[in-house]
Homo-oligomer: A and B are copies of this chain.
Amino acid sequence: MLSKKTKYGLKALTFIVNSEGEKPVQVSAIAKNEQIPQKFLESILLTLRKSGVLGSKKGKHGGYYLRKEPHEILMTEVMRVLEGPIAMVPCVSLNYYEKCDDCVDEESCSVHMLMAKVRDSALNVFRNTTLADLSLKKTENILK
């Protein structure tokens, strides 16, 4: 299951894209429009800022903004920050590899083999989708 954290994070990012302008977008505005518990959202946006996807401005008229253009923000990055490793098992993770304690021979492990394929297929999606794609409405996608 996709965590609420990731779901909220994706919605928030999309909202920020669609609020395009120079002014930073406030947590309260996102929370209200996207129906996300504000305090929870705060912590999510903070994570996204710490990872470098978002920038922020403190104090009155503060808020969050994108550090890169939407089309430069890959889902690989966003998903790793919000949801964690893309691989479903550490032994096929590219960025967070860990050997299984059980599993004598990785090369002949049925789980390993299957999960490597799943990882590749997910990576293929995330590498070819940017935040710009997410913020397109379906009708726009059809035209595209």
Say which residue of B2, B114, B122, B124 sits within 8 Å of A111 (CB atoms). Answer: B2
A110 touches B (CB below 8 Å): yes
- Interface residue total, chain A, C-beta cutoff 8 A: 35
- Mostly, the A contact residues are helix
A1-B88, A88-B1 are known contacts. Are A11 and B111 too (CB-CB below 8 A)?
yes
A75-94 contacts to B (CB < 8 Å): 75, 84, 88-89
A56 touches B (CB below 8 Å): no
Q: Which residues of A contact B (CB under 8 A)?
A: 1-2, 7, 10-11, 13-14, 34-35, 75, 84, 88-89, 102, 107-111, 113-115, 117-118, 121-122, 124-125, 129, 133-135, 137-138, 141
